Chain A
């Protein structure tokens, strides 16, 4: 890795570490609340799902949600703010290739996503046990998911003219798809019509595949999740690269 790319990566990571309250502590608080509610308060009254205590069943989905939303937010907000404040010039005048710029933003976002995912799993582990069924599988899934969403963050940041547009995607697309994607229930608990609808939701395969990695159980074949994420990551990386290379809204 060249010094240019390394510098961009280090700078991006340090940037989110400068505001740990926002980037790390806030997801920590949210997850803790989930587990306090579902693990302790309601836990004894909730039935096991597929042989797993409810709090443990929801943990992988919350990890996945934390990973993708933080990966997206990091690249989207960092690049968007640079564009807005004009500091993007620093990078545009430097002898960095489009690949290096994209890699720098995406890699830093993946680091943040995985840190939040790791913290989430540690919190979950405190309530439900820390063991992971297929750690390598879980890691690969989460990295792919983080890459895909970080690249989408880059795309949004380039395109967006307002913060509202940056927030549109997580608020109106990712969060609903995640909540309806089986984080809190198994699709087998749904009536057949809703089951089919869920199967059309790509985030379902993400959650399901990650759950397979952590808990060893899944509703669909975990290979589906892997395949869909790989395609999504490749697609969003290509789109982000094409936008950077075109100069669209960055090199007017």
Chain B
């Protein structure tokens, strides 16, 4: 397993005429924060969905901790936490109920301590008995993050977790993500806020039109482009990709 927590091999996903993923190979290493970047429609959510079991690959394979996500789904789903990009909530239940149910689906009985910890990390303690419908947009997103954490996953996928979250809470979330990593959780993060990836990621990958166009240690990447922000490097990379395609 050479420290790889997620191994993706030759992954393809076709939606009708759209090739959302085109032979992607990559590995996410134990304990890192992996920044998955790319423009709208690049295939980030598709990739994450396949690993989390929400969607099935057309070709290729995805493994979590060495196990195939289709064949050994019980094992891999227990190891994975997913914060989906799209906000969803069940208007029938409160914050606490939503967290308890989610833990239950994973076969986990949520202890009082763990519940308190999650609620306070996401600043939802005061809202624990509030119906999910009555939360603000940012709070709903934080509830999604809480639901992804209830079973203490080894790998956490955060699909644009900070969209619509205010500055203060965003920084609080960053701190929490770092704390998770210190405890050994591997984090895969997609975001359109490049400063977020710059701040948090150990390695960054860029996909564009379903193809992996960059995968590098963030420190090395930044050193190679001394004086530039990640955002500039990223934009220049995408422009080169586009120019390359047009030249073909």
Q: Which residues of A line the B interface, CB within 8 A?
A: 2-4, 6-8, 10-11, 14-15, 18, 82, 85-87, 89-97, 247, 251-252
Write 13 A-B pairs (CB below 8 A) sorted by A numbering.
A4-B104, A11-B93, A85-B88, A85-B90, A86-B87, A89-B82, A90-B102, A90-B147, A91-B105, A94-B105, A95-B105, A95-B107, A97-B74
Q: Which residue of A lies closest to B75 (CB)?
A: A95
- How many residues on the B side are at the interface (Cβ–Cβ under 8 A)? 31
Per the 8 Å Cβ criterion, residues 107-153 of B in contact with A are 107-109, 147
Extra A-B contacts (13), CB below 8 Å, given A18-B92, A91-B105, A95-B77: A4-B105, A4-B106, A6-B104, A8-B105, A11-B104, A86-B84, A86-B86, A89-B88, A93-B77, A93-B80, A94-B105, A95-B105, A252-B15
Residues of B within 8 A of A94 (CB): 77, 102, 105-106
Residues of B within 8 A of A10 (CB): 104
- The minimal Cβ–Cβ distance linking B94 to chain A, given in whole angstroms, is 11
A117 to B78, CA, bound (A): 39
Q: Are A4 and B15 in contact (CB under 8 A)?
A: no
A124 to B84, CA, bound (A): 49
Residue interface bits B67-109, CB-to-A below 8 A is 1, else 0: 0000001110110101010111111110000000110111111
Residues of B within 8 A of A96 (CB): 105
A68 to B107, CA, bound (A): 31
Q: Is B53 an interface residue (CB 8 A)?
A: yes
Residues of B within 8 A of A3 (CB): 104, 107-109
Instruction: Say whether, besides A86-B88, A93-B77, A251 and B53 are in contact (CB < 8 Å).
Output: yes
Main DSSP-derived SS at the A contact region: helix
Q: Are A93 and B107 in contact (CB under 8 A)?
A: no
Q: Is B171 an interface residue (CB 8 A)?
A: no
Q: Is B178 an interface residue (CB 8 A)?
A: no
Tell which of A87, A97, A251, A252 touches B90, judged by Cβ atoms closer than 8 Å.
A87
Residues of B within 8 A of A97 (CB): 74
Residues of A within 8 A of B231 (CB): none
A6 to B92, CA, bound (A): 18
Q: Are A2 and B107 in contact (CB under 8 A)?
A: yes
Residues of A within 8 A of B15 (CB): 252
A3 to B87, CA, bound (A): 26
Tell which of B54, B75, B92 touches A93, judged by Cβ atoms closer than 8 Å.
B54
- The minimal Cβ–Cβ distance linking A217 to chain B, given in whole angstroms, is 42
Residues of B within 8 A of A90 (CB): 88, 90, 101-102, 105, 147
A224 to B89, CA, bound (A): 45
Per the 8 Å Cβ criterion, residues 173-229 of B in contact with A are none
- The minimal Cβ–Cβ distance linking A220 to chain B, given in whole angstroms, is 42
Tell which of A7, A85, A86, A89 touches B101, judged by Cβ atoms closer than 8 Å.
A7
- The minimal Cβ–Cβ distance linking A96 to chain B, given in whole angstroms, is 6
Residues of A within 8 A of B47 (CB): none
A252 to B105, CA, bound (A): 21
- The minimal Cβ–Cβ distance linking B52 to chain A, given in whole angstroms, is 5
- The minimal Cβ–Cβ distance linking A198 to chain B, given in whole angstroms, is 41
Residues of A within 8 A of B104 (CB): 3-4, 6-8, 10-11
Q: Is B23 an interface residue (CB 8 A)?
A: no
Residues of B within 8 A of A92 (CB): 53-54
- The minimal Cβ–Cβ distance linking B107 to chain A, given in whole angstroms, is 5
Q: Is B56 an interface residue (CB 8 A)?
A: yes
Q: Is B172 an interface residue (CB 8 A)?
A: no
Residues of B within 8 A of A95 (CB): 73-75, 77-78, 105-107
Q: Is B239 an interface residue (CB 8 A)?
A: no
Residues of A within 8 A of B52 (CB): 93
Q: Which residue of A lies closest to B106 (CB)?
A: A94
A95 to B69, CA, bound (A): 11
Q: Are A15 and B92 in contact (CB under 8 A)?
A: yes
A35 to B108, CA, bound (A): 48
Residues of B within 8 A of A8 (CB): 104-105
A95 to B67, CA, bound (A): 14
A95 to B101, CA, bound (A): 13
- The minimal Cβ–Cβ distance linking B155 to chain A, given in whole angstroms, is 12
Among the interface residues A8, A14, A15, A252, which one has the most CB atoms of the partner chain B within 10 A? Answer: A252
Residues of A within 8 A of B108 (CB): 3
- The minimal Cβ–Cβ distance linking B167 to chain A, given in whole angstroms, is 27
Question: What are the nearest 5 A-B pairs in CB distance?
Answer: A7-B104, A86-B88, A94-B105, A95-B77, A95-B74
A89 to B80, CA, bound (A): 13
